[in-house]
Structure 1
Amino acid sequence: MSILIKNGYVIYGENLDVMKADIYIEDNKITKIGKNLNISADYVIDAKGKVVSPGFINLHTHSPMGLFRGLADDLPLMDWLKHHIWPKEAKLTREYTKAGAYLGALEMIKTGTTAFLDMYFYMDAVAEVVLESGLRGYLSYGMIDLGEPDKTEKEIKVALETMKFIEKLSSERVQFVFGPHAPYTCSIALLKKVRELANEHKKLITIHVAETMTEIGQITSRYGKSPVVLLDDIGFLADDVIIAHGVWLDSKDIHILARHRVSIAHNPASNMKLASGVMPIERLLNAGVNVGLGTDGSASNNNLDMLEEMKIAALLHKVHNLDPTVADAKTVFKMATQNGAKALRLDAGVIKKGALADLVIIDFNQPHLRPINNVISHLVYSANGNDVETTIVDGKILMLDREVFTLDEEKTLEKAEEVVEKLAG
């Protein structure tokens, strides 16, 4: 399939140069960028007054958790998890989880996310949804053994079964990632086994690390060191590891993460809502750590809108540091695009010849996005997910003029309501 996008403001290259240009997509790649391209295509999209942006990469979420949106708000993390989320999750079935995954996929398509890194349960069901939706999904089964050897074996078995299921789908868009939940919920034996398996199968790893002060206290009490030092000491860290949160990091932790070229998924909205703390973003970036952006799940955010997440990230660090130059618009935009792609080893997150055709078109013909003084600034500070008009992944149009082609929107919303009623029963 070929697509020609005409007359748009194109965010071009790694330096985010904005220029008026046309883009020609053939199969799943960007093949030409230039002015007044005169090429026949299967689809011609007029993007006059609109911005063509790299698709957003959500580097940490739990996509089926949209089912729990609004069910337990305004609580600390451990109270929220132990007394509200985990009991609800215990009732989840494969069918219920799949309904939540459909809801998450629909929300991401409609708000401009083109790739996401997910951790949850029944990830075979989530994989089926990703395949159908047209999105790129990097999917990890959340492994928790709580130090019990029987559970360790079971969790490894489920993870490997999930990996085999995903590999049988034979889709470049659906990838398996190892996902031990966190150092405080996983034994050393499980963490070491995951490291060994990731090396053997050449897979990425994602894990929650240093999210709360409570976690730091637990790990320090149990092992006499920080979570990052613990992971370093057991040989877990490498450039294939993506840690989620990274809020409570000291200078030694940051040095270790930089040395191993570990990526971090920053989740500012969730960290603020759960009062977990503020990531030391300036120190991490100065150390050369690759920081991407994630929404976390919709139960602690409460949406998957990466445009909104960019604004929150930029504003949080300015007020926290009492410095308006921290987390500038370009830096945050790169976190939501290029840095996420780098973490996932994905040739996307940037518009250039030869890159994967993962793009979104954002309608700037609206009062809150005019005048077009600064495209990147407007995307970070003025836009929201509802401004996304068209979503293209792997050279396929998933949404055009706000109409989603790959999923049944009405059916998806109805099914989510049905499942929530059953979970409440």
Structure 2
Amino acid sequence: MKTIYTNATFFTMDKENRIFENGMMVVQDQTISSIGPHSKEQMKDADQVVDLGGKWVMPGLVNVHSHIVMTLLRGIGDDMLLKPWLETKIWPIEAQFTTEIASVSTQLGILEMMKSGTTTFSDMFNPNGIDAGAVMETIGETGMRGAFSYTIFSLGSEADQKANLTGAEQFSKAYKNFADGRLTTMVAPHSPYACTPEAISESARIAKENDLMVHIHVSETDFEILDIETRYGARPVEHLRRLGLFDQPTVMAHGVVLNEEERSILKQHDVRVAHNPISNLKLGSGIADVVSLLKAGIKVGVATDGVASNNNFDMFEEMRTAALLQKGMYKDATQFPAQTALAMATRMGAEAIGMSHTGSLEAGKKADFITIYPHDKEHLQPLSEAYSHLLYAARGNDVCDVYINGKMVVKDRVSLTIDEEKVIAEANRLQGTLSR
């Protein structure tokens, strides 16, 4: 089916950063076949013409590190440092999760993501006590695109650790290509502090044998650096390099505490960084030096982390914070311009998680896009400065419509694939069953 979208301003976010006012985008089934100025010639054989009524159109946002199963933990354990937050709040409550709780929490998280403009995500979830396959099926039904990854831990008894690794390997094999290719998985050892060297080596093996990417938390705090140095005689990046984890393309969440030598290692092994500015601020972890990462040629994407440490999935807020932090840290307003921030939340983010078939509006890419109607929003005026507004003024609740794979999943801010009223009611009911 050939669908043509007209009467809109298209922000492609491709490498040329093209903008088409009164443009036209042609979608053939699930893929963009062309985009450019309005053309009467192309409209002749269209199966459907959609008049977008003067909206702005941009690629769907790409959230490169999240924890959607933890959505019900929003607001629990505020104002705590990372280590006690995990050990005394998050992990004990997650241990109470059932498959029902995990599925509803996941739906709530995806609902928030999609309605605020995210169409692709990369996630790590704690599999303890839940049917991971059932949760993946739930994600498939929402229409979302992304990677949902079974977290590997070295916690509990030796038997528990072995079962965890076995479960991760089985999940990796079963869901490498799921929901007609919209969903995949990565191999996800939690971190160098929550995994033994043996577990990390096994993670590397699973990733290599199944040709999967790796997703791991690394170099998030000063405490982590000292802890890993004390345990293993090397900083986290070198420790993981020695264990062979970087032999497969790896997404490293956080990267707050890195030196020049470590950035060189990341570049050498094509390790990508998921930058979580608001979560890092809230947990007191620090500010990642993203400017230095980009100058070193390292792929970087923007991420929200989980809402337990954020506390929302609004990627507009996240990329704006990312830009402002770098300007403030360097005391240089020219650092991290709007073009860089917007690219990191779209095309560059998609490339970082191995999904370069999305993230920009150009021929051959998947038709993942969002619309914003700016004409009745005072904070998006004057209309002539639209590109600036997308970073410095827009917010998630400005998003009107969301398309993934050419299919509309949100229309006029209402989800078409998730029962919003039911999910919200169930989320509040189930959250009340958790002891804390």
TM-score (structure 2 length as normaliser) = 0.93
Q: In the alignment, what sits opposite 1:65? A: 70
Q: In the alignment, what sits opposite 2:264? A: 255
Q: Are the aligned partners of 1:348 and 1:356 in contact in 2 as well (CA < 8 Å)?
A: yes
- Unaligned runs of at least 5 residues, structure 1: none
Q: Pick one of 187, 194, 209 that aligns with 1:185.
A: 194
Q: Following TM superposition, by how much is the alpha carbon of 1:151 offset from its aligned partner in structure 2, in angstroms?
A: 3.6
Q: In the alignment, what sits opposite 1:114? A: 119
Q: Distance in 1 between matches of 2:50 and 2:421?
A: 26
Q: In the alignment, what sits opposite 2:381? A: 370
Q: Pick one of 303, 317, 324 that aligns with 1:294.
A: 303
Per the alignment, in what secondary structure is the counterpart of residue 398 of structure 1?
strand
Q: Are the aligned partners of 1:239 and 1:263 in contact in 2 as well (CA < 8 Å)?
A: no
Alignment-mate amino acid for residue 143 of structure 2: G
Worse-superposed segment, 326-335 or 145-154: 145-154
Distance 1:103 1:352, change over 3 A: same
Distance 1:44 1:71, change over 3 A: farther
Q: Map residues 17-416 of structure 1 onto 2, 5 A cutoff.
A: 17-20=18-21, 21-37=23-39, 38-39=43-44, 41=46, 44-122=49-127, 123-146=132-155, 149-167=158-176, 169=178, 171-238=180-247, 240-346=249-355, 347-365=357-375, 366-416=377-427
Q: Distance in 1 between matches of 2:397 and 2:258?
A: 35
Q: Distance in 2 between matches of 1:396 and 1:294?
A: 24
Q: Distance in 2 between matches of 1:147 and 1:197?
A: 21
Alignment-mate amino acid for residue 391 of structure 1: V
Q: Deviations over 1:248-291 (max 9, x none)?
A: 00111101001111110000010011110110111111100001
Q: Deviations over 1:235-258 (max 9, x none)?
A: 211451000000000111101001
Per the alignment, in what secondary structure is the counterpart of residue 8 of structure 1?
strand
Per the alignment, in what secondary structure is the counterpart of residue 49 of structure 1?
strand
Per the alignment, in what secondary structure is the counterpart of residue 221 of structure 1?
helix
Per the alignment, in what secondary structure is the counterpart of residue 316 of structure 1?
helix
Q: Following TM superposition, by how much is the alpha carbon of 1:85 offset from its aligned partner in structure 2, in angstroms?
A: 1.1
Q: Following TM superposition, by how much is the alpha carbon of 1:200 offset from its aligned partner in structure 2, in angstroms?
A: 0.9
Q: Following TM superposition, by how much is the alpha carbon of 1:14 offset from its aligned partner in structure 2, in angstroms?
A: 1.9
Distance 1:410 1:40, change over 3 A: farther
Q: Are the aligned partners of 1:117 and 1:139 in contact in 2 as well (CA < 8 Å)?
A: yes
Q: Distance in 2 between matches of 1:25 and 1:121?
A: 37
Alignment-mate amino acid for residue 75 of structure 1: M
Q: Following TM superposition, by how much is the alpha carbon of 1:35 offset from its aligned partner in structure 2, in angstroms?
A: 2.8
Q: Following TM superposition, by how much is the alpha carbon of 1:3 offset from its aligned partner in structure 2, in angstroms?
A: 3.2
Worse-superposed segment, 232-241 or 327-336: 232-241
- Unaligned runs of at least 5 residues, structure 2: none
Q: Following TM superposition, by how much is the alpha carbon of 1:172 offset from its aligned partner in structure 2, in angstroms?
A: 0.3
Q: Distance in 2 between matches of 1:397 and 1:236?
A: 38
Worse-superposed segment, 218-227 or 338-347: 338-347
Q: Following TM superposition, by how much is the alpha carbon of 1:104 offset from its aligned partner in structure 2, in angstroms?
A: 0.6
Q: Distance in 2 between matches of 1:50 and 1:238?
A: 44
Distance 1:160 1:299, change over 3 A: same
Alignment-mate amino acid for residue 240 of structure 1: P
Per the alignment, in what secondary structure is the counterpart of residue 237 of structure 1?
helix
Q: Following TM superposition, by how much is the alpha carbon of 1:17 offset from its aligned partner in structure 2, in angstroms?
A: 1.7
Per the alignment, in what secondary structure is the counterpart of residue 186 of structure 1?
coil
Q: Are the aligned partners of 1:127 and 1:137 in contact in 2 as well (CA < 8 Å)?
A: no
Alignment-mate amino acid for residue 35 of structure 1: P
Alignment-mate amino acid for residue 415 of structure 1: E
Q: Are the aligned partners of 2:62 and 2:120 in contact in 1 as well (CA < 8 Å)?
A: yes
Alignment-mate amino acid for residue 280 of structure 2: N
Q: Distance in 2 between matches of 1:341 and 1:201?
A: 21
Alignment-mate amino acid for residue 243 of structure 1: M
Q: Following TM superposition, by how much is the alpha carbon of 1:167 offset from its aligned partner in structure 2, in angstroms?
A: 4.8
Identity among equivalent positions (%) equals: 38
Q: Deviations over 1:206-242 (max 9, x none)?
A: 0000001111111011112110011112221145100
Say whether residues 1:7 and 2:18 are aligned partners.
Answer: no
Per the alignment, in what secondary structure is the counterpart of residue 422 of structure 1?
coil
Q: Distance in 1 between matches of 2:348 and 2:59?
A: 12
Q: Are the aligned partners of 1:22 and 1:36 in contact in 2 as well (CA < 8 Å)?
A: yes
Q: Are the aligned partners of 2:64 and 2:274 in contact in 1 as well (CA < 8 Å)?
A: yes
Q: Deviations over 1:81-121 (max 9, x none)?
A: 11111111111111101110000111111011111001013
Per the alignment, in what secondary structure is the counterpart of residue 3 of structure 1?
strand
Worse-superposed segment, 105-114 or 40-49: 40-49
Q: Are the aligned partners of 2:214 and 2:248 in contact in 1 as well (CA < 8 Å)?
A: no
User: Matched residue pairs, number?
Assistant: 425
Alignment-mate amino acid for residue 87 of structure 1: P
Root-mean-square deviation (CA, aligned residues, Å) is: 1.7
Distance 1:64 1:120, change over 3 A: same
Q: Are the aligned partners of 2:144 and 2:404 in contact in 1 as well (CA < 8 Å)?
A: yes
Q: Distance in 1 between matches of 2:69 and 2:242?
A: 34
Q: Following TM superposition, by how much is the alpha carbon of 1:32 offset from its aligned partner in structure 2, in angstroms?
A: 2.2
Q: Distance in 2 between matches of 1:169 and 1:328?
A: 37
Per the alignment, in what secondary structure is the counterpart of residue 373 of structure 1?
helix
Distance 1:40 1:360, change over 3 A: farther
Q: Are the aligned partners of 1:18 and 1:375 in contact in 2 as well (CA < 8 Å)?
A: no
Q: Are the aligned partners of 2:99 and 2:135 in contact in 1 as well (CA < 8 Å)?
A: no
Q: Distance in 2 between matches of 1:232 and 1:117?
A: 22
Distance 1:73 1:36, change over 3 A: same
